[in-house]
């Protein structure tokens, strides 16, 4: 029996080797002059091969992409030396051609075939999962990212409103991909698509039935302070005369193969412009956002007096807030992960928690260690507006941010100025936020 198993493994490896050799031969054929003339047909065959590629064969394919489809070092060096000696347009173009990996042209030609875009997204999705263990594949990933960033430029994307009359298959994808506040069945989704709610998604012409990213909006009388009322599936819809504020309360990416490609920031701005045209009475565009990194940051007991950008006296106030919070929860930070524990903090303990969170958002956000949601909205030109204690008392909200949620304000006239501030390391914020520090 062991010998039979061994023979089966040998046969399987031989089959995988044959499949990989055939795949690589097709790739080279596609890149040849003859392949260029017949690129759609050859690319179509490649798309099908990539779709059914076993994991073991895919690993070998990635290795060959990194090794065999990279630029020739000596040719690049010769081209670089020629350009350095005579930096004219011809030498520059020749150097650019020599430095571009052959796999980029391979990906372009695959993309010409029906289903090619989806195949490359699946390829990058698989590649991203391997980078930590196989860092030599980063150059391949960088090439895919470069091309996908161009092909999924927001200028090519279509924004569509999703409502209860949308195809059931699309609605099922919304339920499956909602990443911030889980959809609790069809009744919950129906409530999120009532007249006082909006859901918009980006689509690509090559993937017309696949939402890439979607945003959910609540039309409400005032800036919301808690998520529960917004996603209460039993709540009655509000009449249009109460639509004063558009609150973005969830944004979800549907395609892991597009990780890092900027889509959400363009979607929010386009939705705001669409709503402004549809509902001129809207005066405020804001978010009700989670703070997913706060609890973890606080648990690490950061050196508060060493935070970047501290103003005079803030270091002492932060250390005092840390001590007050420790005292309020009896030194047991786990109490902050329950509604009862938050209730027991008292006013001083809650004030300390807000002070520490404001420091996290205002001082840490411009750094690479900043909260990912904060960095997204602040870099997108939003203003840090208000902290909301007990804004999310779900298990996830308590674990991530001790129940806190935050409003970011999108002032459509000051988005660029706020973005520039953030790029310079400063967070645009309200007076209410400044008062917490």
Note the pLDDT of residue 15. Answer: 61
How far is residue 12's CA from residue 278's CA, in Å, rounded to a whole number? 60
94: enclosing H helix or E strand: helix 89-99
pLDDT in tens, 184-214: 999 999 999 999 999 999 999 999 999 999 9
Band (pLDDT 50/70/90 cuts) for residue 437 is: confident
Note the pLDDT of residue 142. Answer: 96
Does residue 381 come out as left (phi exceeding 0), alpha (psi in the -120 to 50 range) or beta? left
Domains of the chain plus CATH, in order, are 2-151 (1.20.140.90), 155-287 (3.40.630.180), 294-436 (3.40.630.150)
* 3-state DSSP assignment of residue 219: strand
Q: What are the φ and ψ backbone dihedral angles of 383, each rounded to 5 degrees? A: -110, 135
Q: What percent of the chain has pLDDT over 90?
A: 82
How far is residue 374's CA from residue 427's CA, in Å, rounded to a whole number? 10
Query: Residue 12: is its pLDDT beyond 90?
Result: no
pLDDT in tens, 130-164: 999 999 999 999 999 999 999 998 888 999 999 99
Band (pLDDT 50/70/90 cuts) for residue 332 is: confident
pTM of the model: 0.86
Note the pLDDT of residue 154. Answer: 85
Note the pLDDT of residue 52. Answer: 85
Partners of 197 in beta bridges: 218
Q: Which of 68, 58, 59, 66 is nearest to 138 (CA)?
A: 66
pLDDT in tens, 17-61: 788 889 999 999 999 877 666 778 889 999 998 888 888 888 999
Note the pLDDT of residue 309. Answer: 87
Active site residue ranges: 289, 377
> Taking the mean position of all CA atoms in its chain, how far away is CA 67?
30
Least confident of 26-40, 253-267, 363-377, 400-414: 26-40
Query: Residue 101: is its pLDDT beyond 80?
Result: yes
* 3-state DSSP assignment of residue 215: strand
pLDDT in tens, 215-242: 999 999 999 999 999 999 999 999 999 9
How far is residue 121's CA from residue 230's CA, in Å, rounded to a whole number? 34
Least confident of 9-18, 20-29, 161-170, 279-288: 9-18
Q: What are the φ and ψ backbone dihedral angles of 26, each rounded to 5 degrees? A: -65, -35
Task: Specify whether the CB–CB gap between 355 and 317 falls below 8 A.
Answer: yes
Query: Residue 6: is its pLDDT beyond 90?
Result: no
Q: Which of 57, 68, 62 is nearest to 128 (CA)?
A: 62
Q: What is the mean pLDDT of residues 170-178?
A: 95
Mean pLDDT of the chain: 92
| Burial per residue of 128-150, b for 16 or more beta-carbon CB atoms within 10 angstroms, e otherwise | bebeeeeeebeebbebbbebbee
Q: What is the mean pLDDT of residues 77-82?
A: 96
Q: Which of 256, 246, 233 is nearest to 183 (CA)?
A: 233
- Long-range pairs for 234-237: beta carbons < 8 A, 24 or more residues apart: 234/191, 235/191, 237/194, 237/195, 237/196, 237/197
């Amino acid at each position: 029996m062991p010998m039979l198993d061994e023979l089966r493994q040998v046969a399987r490896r031989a089959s995988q080797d044959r499949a990989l050799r055939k795949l690589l031969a097709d790739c080279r054929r596609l890149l040849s002059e003859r392949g260029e003339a017949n690129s759609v047909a050859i690319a179509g065959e490649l798309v099908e091969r990539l779709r059914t590629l076993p994991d073991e064969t895919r690993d070998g394919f990635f290795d060959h992409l990194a090794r065999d489809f990279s630029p020739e070092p000596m040719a690049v060096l010769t081209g670089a030396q020629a350009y350095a000696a005579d930096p004219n347009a011809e030498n520059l173009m020749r150097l650019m051609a020599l430095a571009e990996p052959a796999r980029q042209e391979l990906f372009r030609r695959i993309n010409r075939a029906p289903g090619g875009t989806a195949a490359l997204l699946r390829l990058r999705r698989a590649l991203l999962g391997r980078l930590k263990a196989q860092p030599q594949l980063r150059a391949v990933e960088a090439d895919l990212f470069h091309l996908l960033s161009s092909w999924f430029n927001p200028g090519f994307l279509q924004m569509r409103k999703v409502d209860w009359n949308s195809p059931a298959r699309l609605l099922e994808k919304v339920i499956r991909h909602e990443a911030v506040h889980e959809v609790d069945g069809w009744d919950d989704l129906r409530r999120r698509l009532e007249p006082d709610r909006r859901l918009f998604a980006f689509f690509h012409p090559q993937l017309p039935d696949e939402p890439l990213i979607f945003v959910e909006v609540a039309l409400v009388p005032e800036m919301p302070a808690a998520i529960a009322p917004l996603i209460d599936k039993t709540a009655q819809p509000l009449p249009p005369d109460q639509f004063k504020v558009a609150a973005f309360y969830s944004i979800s990416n549907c395609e892991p193969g597009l990780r890092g490609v900027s889509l959400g920031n363009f979607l929010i701005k386009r939705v705001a412009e669409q709503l402004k045209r549809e509902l001129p009475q809207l005066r405020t565009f804001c978010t009700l956002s989670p703070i997913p990194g706060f609890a973890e940051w606080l648990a690490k007991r950061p050196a508060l007096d060493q935070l970047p950008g501290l103003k005079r006296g803030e270091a002492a106030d932060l250390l005092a807030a840390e001590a007050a919070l420790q005292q309020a929860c009896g030194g047991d930070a786990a109490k902050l992960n329950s509604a009862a524990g938050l209730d027991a903090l008292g006013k001083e303990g809650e004030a300390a928690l807000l002070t520490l969170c404001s420091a996290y958002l205002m001082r840490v956000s411009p750094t690479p260690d900043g909260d990912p949601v904060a960095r997204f909205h602040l870099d997108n030109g939003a203003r840090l507006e208000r902290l909301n204690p007990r804004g999310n008392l779900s298990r996830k909200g308590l674990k991530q941010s001790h129940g806190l949620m935050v409003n970011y304000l999108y002032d459509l006239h000051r988005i660029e100025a706020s973005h520039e501030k953030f790029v310079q390391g400063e967070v645009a914020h309200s007076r209410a936020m400044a008062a917490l520090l």
